[in-house]
Chain A
Amino acid sequence: MELLKRFKQGDIEAFETLFRQFQAEVYGWIVLIVRDPGVAEDLTIETFWRIYKARARLNTEAAFGAWVRRIARNLAIDHIRSRRREQELSEQSLWVEAPDSALCRETHEMIERAFRQLSPKLQAAATLALVDERPYQEIADLLGAPVGVIRTRVFRAVRQLRKQLERMGVIP
């Protein structure tokens, strides 16, 4: 509590202590959503930069971690949204094909394209649930939504992907 009060008053040492306490956690949340370590580092800094700028509004009684998590999550989701727009324009791939991938390049690109067409929230929920196989409760905490909503997002993501991939002829 004392640390938060000092941070609110602009004490840079208090900010450093909070930064060091939370940086790994914040990076871990962001990288799970954006899937790019370099971007996750930048967004970690951006998260703390926003926290620093908004320190005057900090409620020292409320949970600091929850506030940090909300800012980090919003930045990560916004990043997926902007990346989606950029990719629509450039049609460039961000994901590297795994060397042991059984899929041919064309199929790989079609799946990627279908995935990019999902909304950022569906992309995040589907990645965490289906690729990382994280427990639903953990995904709910990370994305700030109830477990039921996360289940629905994953279900909708799978249904939309299936429809797209059938249309593209990737799956029968």
Chain B
Amino acid sequence: MTEDEDKEIQRLLKEVIRSVDRELRLDVWPAMLRRLDAPRTLVPWYDWTLVGALSCWLVFFPEGILHLLYHL
């Protein structure tokens, strides 16, 4: 590959990809605070109950894994 060929690719890329300004124009701390204050997604208690029951079932009946995988 020659230097001229490299330059050609470089020229084409410069035509297509815009240059960007690295400067941050606004303070994003308020947005960060909103993110920190956003309520956490809580898993409802009945989901935990279901997971517990399923785990117990798989402990006592391990062959059930195949049935479970089939129905998933």
Which A residues contact B (CB, under 8 angstroms)?
12, 16, 19-20, 23-24, 27-28, 31-32, 35-37, 41, 44-45, 48-49, 52, 95-96, 98, 101-103, 108, 111-112, 115, 126-127, 130-132, 155, 158-159, 161-162, 165, 170-171
B23 touches A131 (CB 8 A): no
Which of the segments B12-20, B42-50, B51-59, B64-72 contacts the partner chain? B12-20
Q: Which 5 A-B pairs have the closest CB atoms?
A: A28-B22, A27-B24, A130-B10, A24-B24, A111-B16
Docked Cα-Cα span, A64 to B18, in Å, equals 31
B9 touches A158 (CB 8 A): yes
Given contacts A19-B29, A41-B26, 20 further A-B contacts (CB under 8 A): A12-B36, A16-B29, A27-B24, A31-B21, A32-B22, A37-B20, A37-B21, A37-B25, A45-B31, A52-B36, A95-B17, A103-B12, A112-B16, A127-B17, A131-B13, A131-B14, A131-B19, A158-B1, A161-B13, A171-B8
Name the interface size band of chain B. Answer: 20 to 34
